[in-house]
Chain A
Amino acid sequence: MIAIIDYKAGNIASVKNALERLGQSCVITSKPKEILAADGVIFPGQGRAGPAMLELQKTGIDKVIPQITKPFLGICLGMQLLGEVSEEDRTKCLKIFQGACRKFPPTLKTPHLGWNKVELTRESTLTRDIRNGSYFYFVHSYYVDTSERQIAGKTSYGFEFASIMQKDNFFAVQFHPEKSGEQGLRLFNNFCELC
């Protein structure tokens, strides 16, 4: 059973839809107990960092996430909230990863929206059987500025930014696997096999 964390941030039904297409059982929940009992946890999200962190604090999930020892996958805003701080709403985040979430400069069109390539910078079970340079679907205006050693995949939009991060049992992707067709489903499948 995979828990999809519900913290009132965006289109989480599509994550559930994608997992169900893979035959993976999952539950959308905001209950700490259910989250801790799951075989794996997905932390999706769209929306703003400030209200999202407030919601996590309100439900106590902010304290639960660092305790999770099962495979954990942050998606989009879910990845950004795993960093230390975010420029968006000047938000203190969960500090699972080092790094700060920053806005793309005004010289680039924002949101960064559409299909962009992910260059895999190291081997990871999450990206097994995914060709280097595959396209994934992105929608975001902020990115995580982090140190090289936490990065497992990079994407170029004006400059290179971290599109996949990994540290112990924590994985994070800036793109939306649930919207990235075949490659996205493959990534989800890799994650589910870890759980």
Chain B
Amino acid sequence: MLVIPAIDIIDGKCVRLAQGNFSNSTVYGENPIEIAKNFEKQGATFLHIIDLDGARLGYPANAEIILAIAKSVNIPLQVGGGLRLYEQAQKYLENGIEKIILSTVAIENPELFARLLEDFGSQRLVTSVDVRDGKIAIRGWLEESTKTIPALIGALRRAEITSVIVTDISKDGLLEGPNFDLSKKFINAGFQTIVAGGISSLEDAEELNKLGAIGVVVGKAMYEGKINLRKAQERVAYKNNLAKRIIPCLDVKNGRVVKGTHFSNLRDAGDPVELGKRYCEMGADELVFLDIAATLENRKTFCDLVSKIAKEISMPFTVGGGISTIEDIKNLLNAGADKVSIGSAAVQNPNLIKEAAKYFGSQCIVISVDAKKKKQGWKIYIKGGTEETNVDAIEFSKQMEKFGAGELLVNSLDRDGTKKGFDIELLKSIAESVNIPVIASSGAGSMQDFLYVFQKTNVDAALGASIFHYQEVNLIELKKFLFNNNLPIRI
């Protein structure tokens, strides 16, 4: 999370107001440029600059000094205050200002907002949401809008706003802590949320980081030495050690591994348990066992196999193939599987997923997404890729997340068996559309392909079958290779 020092300007000077009251201001410096440079020296990576005269008057009044700040520092600035016209916004955005902060322009003047969006892109526009005693404030915090917060959230969404700065004016400049509940409303509604107003300790910043804010604007607390910038940055730095997973997939028929494997030193290369154990020793992060001849008769054989695997392997494993009822899922989980992978049944009966997630928890429900590129996007195929449906793969993925799926296993029918590499375009599209883990499958032909899929997309795991069985890629070497290429890999 970013810790963003605030510089508020009145009459060319750096000031702080308390509770947005213009008659209650403290001057902290005569020269905002020096203050900005000083923040940069202290380690700031972003600055928040408000033209308070501009906000009050309705047009930028300190633009010159703000543009001079932009020239004097090497860190990006977000700037707001009195921006009501296209030309004013353009002047900033074309002269070194990274982002502009608009008040509720997006709602009051949708044409202007649409034009700015079109010309500069959503990443450069931030909407400022200012709330006082539960009501939205506009025009330099001097007026109140009649909109409620839920109504405002709806309107912001309709205006396709992605990024907001939420300020509780009644908390601003008081050093009594921010409004966590208000912040949470916007974060949970899916906005990239920066929180301002009242942040007065490292604990406040830490709490907002845990709530999912992408930044905090700190004013008075920093000027008065209550928050040390570097300490705050360290406290809320993004830390993540979750490893990318490599998952061998074993096809099983009548309790035996099909596609004969080329492990010379296995006693019985067709035994799923022995092969699974070997893969675990080699560093597999998980295993998938697919029952490829899933018929009623051999269902029991498969369940017996699952309990044998569970007894002998201390690693997570997923099972799949022909699962179509709650009863199927229950039997396999009871036999000791950690997760079940559901394909055709999820497409034909999406409610099964809702029910399964409710009964067993999302964490054990994996959806197998079998997709093939068509003229318009990717379509879902069912029955082992033999039957086309009219279901859009991206929409289906989102629906499955909503229904409670815990993970997606994405197969590209265009790449399956080709060894031409993973379908980057498909995987990127799906991984960016959902907020649950995604496993890449189909098409791996080399170690480079695995590296590439992790570098180019946000997938969490990659799956391989024959490439591992035939030792075209050695699992141990693959993991070393990925690790040496700076990926988070468990070795």
Contact = CB atoms under 8 A, between A and B. Distances in A.
Contacts of B314: 17-18, 21, 178-182, 184-185
Interface in A49-105: 102, 105
Contacts of B336: 11, 13-14, 17
Interface string A160-186: 100000000000000010111110110
B239 interface: yes
B433 to A, nearest CB: 12
B338 A109 contact: no
Interface in B401-450: 406-407, 435-437
B243 interface: yes
A137 B187 contact: no
B179 to A, nearest CB: 17
Interface stretch (B32-40, B65-73, B206-214, B220-228): B206-214
A155 B280 CA distance: 23
Given A13-B336, A105-B211, A113-B406, A156 B315 contact: no
B188 interface: yes
A46 B363 CA distance: 9
B285 A111 contact: no
Contacts of B110: none
A145 interface: yes
A10 B435 CA distance: 24
A176 B286 CA distance: 13
A18 B360 CA distance: 21
A172 to B, nearest CB: 18
B315 A106 contact: no
B460 A114 contact: yes
Contact of A109 (B188, B190, B435): B435
A11 B490 CA distance: 24
The CB with the most chain A CB atoms within 10 A, among B243, B280, B314, is that of B314
A106 B460 contact: no
Interface in B224-260: 236, 238-243, 245
B241 A110 contact: no
A142 to B, nearest CB: 11
Interface string B97-140: 00000000000000000000000000000000000000000000
Given A115-B285, A116-B241, A105 B212 contact: yes
B461 interface: yes
A15 to B, nearest CB: 10
Contacts of B240: 156-158
B437 A111 contact: yes
A8 to B, nearest CB: 11
Interface in B457-471: 460-461
Given A13-B336, A17-B336, A141-B362, A114 B437 contact: yes
A181 B280 CA distance: 8
A68 to B, nearest CB: 26
B47 to A, nearest CB: 22
Given A115-B243, A115-B285, A135-B490, A106 B190 contact: yes
A109 B311 contact: no
Contacts of A111: 362-363, 406-407, 436-437
A47 to B, nearest CB: 5
Contact of A17 (B212, B285, B311, B360): B311
A99 to B, nearest CB: 13
Interface in B298-336: 310-312, 314-316, 333-334, 336
Contacts of B437: 109, 111, 113-114
Contacts of A155: 241
B354 to A, nearest CB: 15
Nearest to A46: B361
Contacts of B238: 158-159
Interface in A96-145: 102, 105-117, 135, 137-141, 145
A96 B210 CA distance: 23
26 contacts: A13-B310, A13-B334, A17-B314, A21-B311, A106-B187, A107-B187, A110-B436, A111-B362, A111-B363, A111-B436, A113-B406, A114-B461, A116-B242, A117-B241, A137-B316, A139-B316, A139-B363, A156-B239, A156-B240, A157-B241, A157-B242, A158-B239, A159-B210, A159-B236, A179-B314, A179-B338
Given A13-B334, A156-B240, 16 more contacts: A14-B338, A46-B363, A106-B188, A107-B214, A113-B460, A115-B242, A116-B242, A135-B243, A157-B240, A158-B238, A159-B206, A159-B209, A160-B239, A179-B315, A179-B338, A181-B315
Interface of A: 10-11, 13-14, 17-18, 20-21, 46-48, 102, 105-117, 135, 137-141, 145, 155-160, 176, 178-182, 184-185
Sorted nearest first, the 5 A-B pairs with minimum C-beta distance are A105-B212, A156-B239, A117-B241, A107-B212, A135-B490
